[in-house]
Structure 1
Amino acid sequence: MVSTGQPSSRLVTAVQQITLSSSDSDYLLQLIPVIKEVSQTRRVEELINVLNQLSTEKNGEIENICNSNHQEFVDSVQQLLTVREGTMSTATEVMEVQDGMQASVQKLAEAKKALVDSRSVRENIDEATEALDSCLEVLRLANQVHELLAKKRHYAALRALDELRNVHLREISRYKLADMIEKSVPATQRLIADAVMNDLNTWLYRIREASQYLGEVAFYHTEMRRSRLKQRVEDDENLRKFKLNSAIELVADETDEFDILNNEETETQVDFTPLFECMHIYETLGRMDHFKSEYAATRRRQKELLIPTTVNLLDEEEADLSSLLESISGFAIIERATMRKTDNFRAPVDVDELWDSMCQSAIALISNALHTVDNDEKLLKIKGRISLFIQTMDSWSYSTSSLQSLVLVIFDKYSQILKERFSEDFQEIVATDDYMPMPITSMDEYNKVVNVSWYTPEKDPSKLKFPCVLPFSQMYPLCCIDIRNFLNQIYLFADDQFQRSAVIDETLQHSLDELLCEKVCQSLIQRLSSQYPGQIVQILTNFEHFETACLELQTLLYEARASTHASGPVVLKALERFRTGKKTAEKRIFELVNSKIDDLVETAEYEWLSTTAPEEPSLYMQELTRYLSVNMNSVLLGLPTEIKELIYFDALSHAANMILALPLDANVRRITPSATKTLAQDVHFLSQFVESLGNPILKENLDELVQTVALMQTSDPDEFFDVSQANKKYGRVDRTNGAILLEKVREGAVVASNPVLSSSNAAFAALGSRFGINRS
């Protein structure tokens, strides 16, 4: 439906506004909303009418303008036509120029396109070249890693690999080559780790092979330190108490620098570079714990290879033992040096465990082979090597207590061998001795004997006349020599290189006691069964000197005692044994003297019923006094005065008792005055002999005998039964014995006063004597 009314003012205004647009685009932009609006309101015809109306108005305006300016318009049209012609020609020219330009532009576009295409290709080529160069650089670095690895430059190879991985692979990360190389990095790292570990194993093998020589050099260095210390002690006695490895010795030895691991003189050089490089690489790889465990396992295996299955201790040069100890020493020195040169790489407990294991293995080998050694000199050499080993390892701060115990085991065997050898020597000395005072022919010989024996001469040596004799027999100085040798050889074991302990002192004392008690004292005691008083006297003299020797030995052992914790004096059991032996010898002398006295008294032939008395003392009494005189002045001459007097005292006492027992015999029932006179004459003879000895004490032994014989001769027997008189004259006479003898004398007097009875008794006595019958 088309509207025929007047257009709205709003629509007219909008159309007028549109006509005022400055350009077609602006015109259309304003017209479009109006068209949309009228289309929606169904007023299109109204818009067309407005536009037509507006067009008519404008045409009218144009016509009016043209009518008023017609001529000018004609002229203008003419001008415009002229201009149009020129414009047409110009347009033709322009079209021609445009066609030329269009052809040129087309060519230029084609050239530009070709240029753009070539530039793109060039950029691609440049990019490809750059990528290729980067990949080639990566490949070069990868190859360089393997080249460095082949040249044993492991750390440089690891650094190059690290640079390749962290820097260069990032530049080509978009290429597959980067992935391939990235995947090969762990394998390359393992190659580097294996290569450096192989080099380390080679180094470990070489130092294991060189361990023995390194230990030999260490022993040499210790011996040099010993020599320097000995020289310093000789120069200054105050340094004697400072031993090897003491603080004073270490300070004094600082001026003599000696690097065991690197020394031109001994041609030793232990380079730890392979170990350091391996540690650095494994630490860089983050596998340090794995490397520590592998290294520790390798060293444990090498330690096992170091220890032999057996060791020969009988070799004259101790080659096996030296090789074993030097190898252990070199191995342990490397371990300690490794621990000192690194930080937390080798745990002290691991190093000490290896050391303890090697020590226990060495101790077991040596202990198992000790039974083959039966020579004390060989044991000294073995101990010397072990002591050198101990002192060497002490300087490297290793514990050597187990080795010290081994030395004590060796000492025990050493002392046993010495004891067996000296036992044989002592037995031979005791068995071959002549048990006579030792003769000396010269002052030189005298000095030698005195120097080796614990003997203090009673006389000034300058006043001696040779030849002379010493109180002891030759066994005493020979035993003294053996004792001194035994002590020296024991102390030779405990020299400056090995400090003596309480065990050594106790072993020495015990062994010395055993030798003196069982091999000397017991042997001498066994020889006391001899029937020769002279031999017994010499044994007793020897006992006295051995007693003196024991006292001296006690002092010597006390002063030489090594243990500072031991208290109290040194007491040798042998001292008491020799004292007991001396008493046994004295008793044996008493037994022999008294036995001889018994034999002599038993030969007495008193005629208790005789009527006549001989003018001379009885033969047995003469023999008895002669025996006592000779025995004391010859056989017992070597005894000390107090012992001789004691023997005299006991012998005289025994003789008096035996003589007194003769008339007291139960078979003697009567004693005639003549028999009493004979007995009195013998007793007087004995009394005079004792008086000639000049010792009143000895004479007192005969008081009972003399007073008893005087009682038998008394004319007033009643005095004996009067206490006051008896105490004065017969104080020593036994009351019972006196009464018995008085009764026998009284009956004898009766017999003597009857000649017939006396003669018959005499005849019977003669007959009894013939047939061995005694009847008084």
Structure 2
Amino acid sequence: MPRGSTELYTDWNPSQIILSSSETDYLDQLIPLLQNAQTQTQVGPLIHALNHVSADRDAAIERICNNNHQEFVNSVQQLQSVREGTVSLTSEIMELSRSIEASTEKLAEQKKALVDSRGVRQNIDDTTQALKDCLEVLRLANQVHALLGEKNHYAALRALDELQNVHLREVTRYKIAEMIERSVPATQRLIAEAVMTDLNTWLYRIRETSQFLGEVAFYHTDLRRERQKERAEQDPRFTTARLNSSLELVADEVEEFDVLHNDEVQVNFSPLFECLHIHDALGQTDKFRADYAATRRRQKDLLIPQTLNLQDDELNSLSSLLEGIAGFAIIEKATMAKTENFRAQSDVDELWDSMCQSAITLLSNALRTIESDDKLLKIKGIIALFIQTMDGWGYSVTSLDSLLLALFDKYSSLLKKRFSDDFEEVVTSDDYMPMPINNAEEYTKVLSVSWYTPPADEASDPEDLEYPYHLPFSQMYPLVCIDIRNFIQQMYLFSDDHFRHTATIDRMIKEGLDELLREKVIRILLAGLKSQYPGQIVQILTNLDYFEQACSDLEEFLVSVRSSSSAAGPISLHATTSFKEAKTEAERRVFELVNSKIDDLIETAEYDWLSTYVPDQVSLYMQELTRYLANIMSSVLLGLPYEIKHMIYQTALEHIAENLLQLPLDPEVQRISHQAAAAYILDVGHLSGFVGSLDEDDRPETVIPAVEELKQNTDLMGLAAEGRGEEFFDQSITTGRFPMVDKIKGAELLEKVQAKGAGMGGLGGVGGAGLGMGLNSMMGSGGMGDDGHAKKASTTLGDFRSRFGDFGRRT
């Protein structure tokens, strides 16, 4: 039996038909069987089953009938009817089976057609969906290029990423996915190149903006300078606070200013951020960092010119160079602050150092042609503004500080050269005359510019002075003082704004003043001492004295104005000592001229030491000598300070006294008549009277001993002329009348002077006898020779000198 029939028979239970509650249920149970393709082969078993059922029913009926015949008969009849109905039904079933079979075939054909149509429809749906997916991919691919064309690079990269990681995964089985997948790297390169093109454009604009950015930064720094000065004027605590110090930064917080974003300039870093983000998304951050660094290095090289012109008055070339460097460096610092691990600190510092070294080289080469200290000061101002600006951005300015130090060296050299010429012109063109003052305004101005203190007896109010008024020094003194003040002021101008080597300025000022004063004032004044005109020498001496005093005041002034807060202690100028030495040299030169004149006048003294008459008036040379002394005291020495004037006068009188005393003590003078002694005493008395007639202000106490010694020697000569020379050897008389007379010289004078009435041939008379007796009594020998002379006079005088020389020196 076929497997299908066995399964059908096995699965089919006839009781299901018998137990069906209705015909509908029966038919419902038959329909699945009839729809089966094997129904036709199973109709026979169905009939057999129906017959079996029918037999069972007949047996049941028979049992029933046996119990109830009538009812059985009725039942038979009914059964007969049922049987007939069953047969009829069986026919219908057979008919129905055939109809079902025919319908089933038709249905199978329709179902096959339906299945086929559903497959086609599914294919169409799948194709439609595939087309939709592919179109979406194509749309996104086109959108990437559209966004790229709109320069929306990051959106294009996001769309490409979405296309690659989402949409392409849905169409991987299609050829288009492979094609687009192969085009993704090329598209990424297009995006990277496009964003780099925009970045290069941005970098170009930044390079063009750098100079203006630096100019704005310089302007802002200059405003901060002004605000800091105002704060320092109002509050002493800000006096020592420099720009960019903590105190200044805190005080200036209220004036916040963004150099990169303001009304003048706007620096947008979006292109850089976008480029950085895109390269980070592409995994090319390192490459982009290296390319960016190389680009900035090239831009740095383009920023530095080949040469630098410092000849224009406005120094536009220097300003443009430093503004460009400042803007470039500010962009680098801002880039570091706005990005993370993009710009290395070492790279930024390397660029900064390179730019600074290039600028320093250019400046150093260009500075060789600069010969103006004013222009150097302008250059320093621009460099200082640049240093202060970049110091505020955290850059190292050590090399630039060294440049300023070199600049200051050249500045100080030019300044010294200019003032050297000024000093030399002032000193060499001086008239060496006391400076005339025409009004109170001129007097006040001289007092304000020089270190001159008026005498205590001078009117305190300039209006009370009588004009024209003559100051003791010549006009070179205040002019040199003005130059000194200007030199100090202009040297300290270099320390304004920014200069950390303030101690160097203090040192250079001291050295520069020493050099200028010693080389251009003292040297020229010393050269002027060669003049034979005493008035010029005296004026030089006066000027030197006031310069010496000015140097002392100048040392205190330098201490008060020095810029180095760390320096302490006094300042000592070598010029002070040099002026003192030069003053001594000038005094010596005055002494030489005065003494030379005195010597000339004394040399005209023509004493006839053996004269036989007494003159009735003072010698001409003595009159001329006292007249000369009066003239130099009232005119030549008038302007000298009190101490110097009196020292010169004292020295002159000592020189006169010494020379006058040497006249009778000259070894060639053997004898002096009492008439010649009287003439000599008359002249010395005239000199003593002249000194005594001087005002107390013009007659220093120290001149009295010099004249007094000479007067006592002449008194001794007068005593000898009277024949009383032996009184000199009386200790009690000598101590009272001749305390200043040297014993040796006194003895020589006594030996030479003849007493009145003595003959010309010998000592004779009272004076000669007295001297002889005195010497004989003191030396233990004496007597007269045949020629009328003391036969042992020379021996006796020598013994006297030997025995009493030491006493005379002590006296």
State the TM-score, normalizing by the size of structure 1: 0.81
Residue 752 of structure 1: SS of its match in structure 2? coil
Partner of 1:272: 269
Q: Is this contact kept in 2: 1:673–1:749, CA < 8 A?
A: no
List aligned pairs for 1:350-499, cutoff 5 A.
Answer: 350-458=347-455, 459-460=458-459, 461-496=462-497, 498=499
Partner of 1:702: 707
Structure 1 residue 738 corresponds to structure 2 residue 754: no
Q: Is this contact kept in 2: 1:671–1:747, CA < 8 A?
A: no
Alignment CA distance shift 1:432-1:118 (3 Å): same
Q: Is this contact kept in 1: 2:384–2:497, CA < 8 A?
A: no
**Distance in structure 2 (CA, Å) of the matches to 1:738 and 1:227:** 84
How far residue 725 of structure 1 moved from its aligned partner, in angstroms, is 5.1
Q: Is this contact kept in 2: 1:517–1:577, CA < 8 A?
A: yes
Q: Is this contact kept in 2: 1:211–1:327, CA < 8 A?
A: yes
Amino acid paired to 2:262: N
Amino acid paired to 1:216: E
Partner of 1:607: 608
Structure 1 residue 321 corresponds to structure 2 residue 318: yes
Give the length in aligned residue pairs.
Answer: 679
**Distance in structure 1 (CA, Å) of the matches to 2:395 and 2:240:** 22
List aligned pairs for 1:523-534, cutoff 5 A.
Answer: 523-534=524-535
List aligned pairs for 1:143-158, cutoff 5 A.
Answer: 143-158=142-157
How far residue 102 of structure 1 moved from its aligned partner, in angstroms, is 4.2
How far residue 646 of structure 1 moved from its aligned partner, in angstroms, is 1.4
How far residue 320 of structure 1 moved from its aligned partner, in angstroms, is 0.3
Structure 1 residue 711 corresponds to structure 2 residue 713: no
Amino acid paired to 2:406: V
How far residue 437 of structure 1 moved from its aligned partner, in angstroms, is 0.9
Partner of 1:48: none
**Distance in structure 1 (CA, Å) of the matches to 2:709 and 2:223:** 83
How far residue 496 of structure 1 moved from its aligned partner, in angstroms, is 4.1
Deviations 1:150-199 (A, max 9, x none): 21111111111211122112212233333333333233222222221221
Q: Is this contact kept in 1: 2:330–2:393, CA < 8 A?
A: yes
Higher mean displacement: 236-245 or 85-94: 85-94
How far residue 472 of structure 1 moved from its aligned partner, in angstroms, is 1.0
Deviations 1:472-504 (A, max 9, x none): 111111111222222222222322455671111
Higher mean displacement: 734-743 or 561-570: 734-743
Higher mean displacement: 451-460 or 690-699: 690-699
Q: Is this contact kept in 2: 1:671–1:748, CA < 8 A?
A: no
**Distance in structure 2 (CA, Å) of the matches to 1:751 and 1:122:** 184
**Distance in structure 2 (CA, Å) of the matches to 1:216 and 1:147:** 41
Partner of 2:185: 186
Q: Is this contact kept in 1: 2:401–2:500, CA < 8 A?
A: no
How far residue 744 of structure 1 moved from its aligned partner, in angstroms, is 3.5
Q: Is this contact kept in 1: 2:377–2:494, CA < 8 A?
A: yes
Amino acid paired to 2:395: Y
Residue 570 of structure 1: SS of its match in structure 2? coil
Q: Is this contact kept in 2: 1:671–1:749, CA < 8 A?
A: no
Alignment CA distance shift 1:376-1:84 (3 Å): same
How far residue 638 of structure 1 moved from its aligned partner, in angstroms, is 1.2
Amino acid paired to 1:700: P
Q: Is this contact kept in 2: 1:197–1:278, CA < 8 A?
A: yes
Partner of 1:765: none
**Distance in structure 1 (CA, Å) of the matches to 2:181 and 2:651:** 118
**Distance in structure 1 (CA, Å) of the matches to 2:257 and 2:551:** 49
**Distance in structure 1 (CA, Å) of the matches to 2:266 and 2:236:** 38
Q: Is this contact kept in 2: 1:437–1:472, CA < 8 A?
A: yes
RMSD: 3.1
Alignment CA distance shift 1:347-1:614 (3 Å): same
Partner of 1:768: none
How far residue 143 of structure 1 moved from its aligned partner, in angstroms, is 2.0
Unaligned runs of at least 5 residues, structure 1: 1-22, 26-81, 756-776
Q: Higher relative contact order by CA 8 Å / sep ≥ 6: 1 or 2?
A: 1
Partner of 2:520: 519
**Distance in structure 1 (CA, Å) of the matches to 2:100 and 2:649:** 175
Amino acid paired to 1:421: R
Deviations 1:269-316 (A, max 9, x none): 111111111121122222222222222222122111111111111112
Alignment CA distance shift 1:111-1:600 (3 Å): same
How far residue 233 of structure 1 moved from its aligned partner, in angstroms, is 4.3
List aligned pairs for 1:475-624, cutoff 5 A.
Answer: 475-496=476-497, 498=499, 501-624=502-625
State the TM-score, normalizing by the size of structure 2: 0.78
**Distance in structure 2 (CA, Å) of the matches to 1:532 and 1:166:** 111
Structure 1 residue 665 corresponds to structure 2 residue 671: no
How far residue 455 of structure 1 moved from its aligned partner, in angstroms, is 1.4
**Distance in structure 2 (CA, Å) of the matches to 1:252 and 1:702:** 77
**Distance in structure 2 (CA, Å) of the matches to 1:307 and 1:681:** 94
**Distance in structure 2 (CA, Å) of the matches to 1:24 and 1:465:** 165
List aligned pairs for 1:42-441, cutoff 5 A.
Answer: 101-236=100-235, 238-264=237-263, 266=264, 268-441=265-438
**Distance in structure 1 (CA, Å) of the matches to 2:93 and 2:645:** 179
Deviations 1:193-220 (A, max 9, x none): 2221221111111101110111111122
Residue 439 of structure 1: SS of its match in structure 2? strand
Amino acid paired to 2:590: I
Partner of 1:55: none
**Distance in structure 2 (CA, Å) of the matches to 1:523 and 1:563:** 33
**Distance in structure 2 (CA, Å) of the matches to 1:390 and 1:319:** 17
Partner of 1:18: none
How far residue 569 of structure 1 moved from its aligned partner, in angstroms, is 0.7
Higher mean displacement: 584-593 or 244-253: 244-253
**Distance in structure 2 (CA, Å) of the matches to 1:293 and 1:483:** 58
Amino acid paired to 1:123: Q
Residue 674 of structure 1: SS of its match in structure 2? helix
Amino acid paired to 1:324: L
Q: Is this contact kept in 2: 1:528–1:536, CA < 8 A?
A: yes
Amino acid paired to 1:196: V
